Amino acid sequence: MEFKRVVVTGLGAITPLGNNVSDYWNALLNGVSGAAPITRFDASKFKTQFACEVKGFNVEDYLDRKEARKLDPFSQYGLCSSIQAMKDAGLDGENAFDPDRAGVIWGSGIGGLQTFQDECFNFSKGDGTPRFNPFFIPKMIADICSGHISIRFGMRGPNFTTVSACASGTNSLIDALTYIRLGKADIIVAGGSEAAVCEAGVGGFNAMHALSTRNDSPETASRPFDADRDGFVLGEGAGCIILEDLDHAIKRGAKIYAEVAGGGMTADANHITAPHPEGLGALNVMRNALKDADMNADEIDYVNVHGTSTPLGDVAETKAILGVFAEHAYKLNISSTKSMTGHLLGAAGAIEAMACILAVQNDIIPPTINHFNDDPTLDNKLNFTFHKPQKRIVRAALSNTFGFGGHNASVIVKKYIP
């Protein structure tokens, strides 16, 4: 069968750099760090005392207070980003789409961690009598955000959540691409959300030595590809991307940001947290994405890397890029926007794919900030787009996300050509 073409028609964002797409994108181009001391709780006794928190977000700009209280922050971020994206796509009016042909595929690596933590804290402080909030389970379960989005917009098509740690947001986009390609839906609300900046989240990642502990300089702590990188910076937020069948988008006169060309998924089958040392899973997933998109490696101009600022991860991903792109690797722009946003876990793939979409649309590459010293174990002839954005024609961009458990997902977006 002939696959349907799939395009992006709406975007929404709640991020550590801004609570809408324009603010997020401008902050990326200006090299702004979203890292700062944690305000959500007293982190003074934690090894890591900073994070990339969402700032200045008022859920009541979107939802009434009673409704908002029924949602964990991860669902608040996700639902509010979807409200932005649906408006951006022109799909928020009456009879804007066939509800039976519209669905939601959302990503979250953890779900309602804040809710789970708070309910356990409250129970432990009591006398053993079970007193739990009746919304405990509906607020906590990872799939609930996709449910809230479908209820908000009356979408009765495919509805589920992808859970693959830090690859979750990208997996949601790939699944959405597949459903529309096969004619099973006209519109899919895709993306991801996460809200793990709490005692359990920071403490848990500290316990496994995953986070940077550069408490004296939070804004420079996320240092992808730098010799002195010491772990990732925890972030939070949401990104929403409306994927739509091209014919459907044209028929209703929608604006089109970019085309989603293809995606790939693999497993390292190696270790629960460490990447394959030679980047085998990462190499295979990029090759799979190129094959799915029916594209050659030299058609890619930009790679938004997973680039978490961990000692092992950045090395493995760089090896994989060289393995996939060979000599063309030196003609690529490579950047890690996590140097600014921190790591949004299950939402990372959504906001990073969004950065790729905007790079393709605007022909400019967001930078990797916080580079101070070259790492001799990396090929420093690669263009990591350090310090400042770079203008160039961006025909196509590839976004990588890799998650604990060895989950790898890559998605490719390209310029829309009628």
The size of the chain, in residues, is: 418
Is 306 assigned a catalytic role?
Answer: yes
Beta strands, E only, 82-222: 102-107, 159-162, 187-194
At 356 the three-state DSSP class reads helix
User: Collapsing DSSP states into helix, strand and coil, what is residue 329?
Assistant: helix
Query: Closest Cα to residue 412, out of 290, 252, 242, 279?
Result: 290
Q: Is 166 a catalytic residue?
A: yes
Contacts 24+ apart (CB under 8 A), 273-278: 273/208, 273/210, 273/404, 274/312, 275/312, 275/313, 275/316, 275/317, 275/402, 275/406, 276/316, 276/406, 277/312, 277/316, 278/316, 278/319
d(CA 224, CA 235): 15
Q: Which amino acid is at 51?
A: A
In order of 80, 195, 198, the CA distances from 41 in angstroms are 23, 13, 7
For the question of residue 52 being annotated catalytic, the response is no
CA distance 167 to 265: 9
* CA–CA separation, 165 and 180 (whole Å): 24
Output the six-digit token pair for 271: 């270790």
What is the C-alpha end-to-end distance of the chain, expressed in Å? 21
How far is the CA of 3 from the CAs of 171, 184, 247, 283, in angstroms? 19, 11, 12, 25
Rounded distance between C-alpha atoms, residue 60 and residue 89, angstroms: 22
Catalytic residue among 148, 248, 306, 407: 306
d(CA 23, CA 347): 17
Q: Which residues of 19-30 are buried (b: 16+ CB within 10 A; e: fewer)?
A: bbbeebbebbbe
Residue from 52, 145, 166, 356 carrying the catalytic annotation: 166
CA 269 to chain centre: 23
- What are the φ/ψ torsions at residue 402 (nearest 5 degrees)? -130, 135
Q: Which of 148, 248, 276, 343 is catalytic?
A: 343
User: For residues 210 and 166, what is the distance between their CA atoms, to the nearest angstrom?
Assistant: 13
6-14 sheet: strands from edge to edge: 159-162, 102-107, 187-194, 237-245, 6-14, 258-267, 407-414, 396-403, 302-304, 333-335
Active site residues: 166, 306, 343
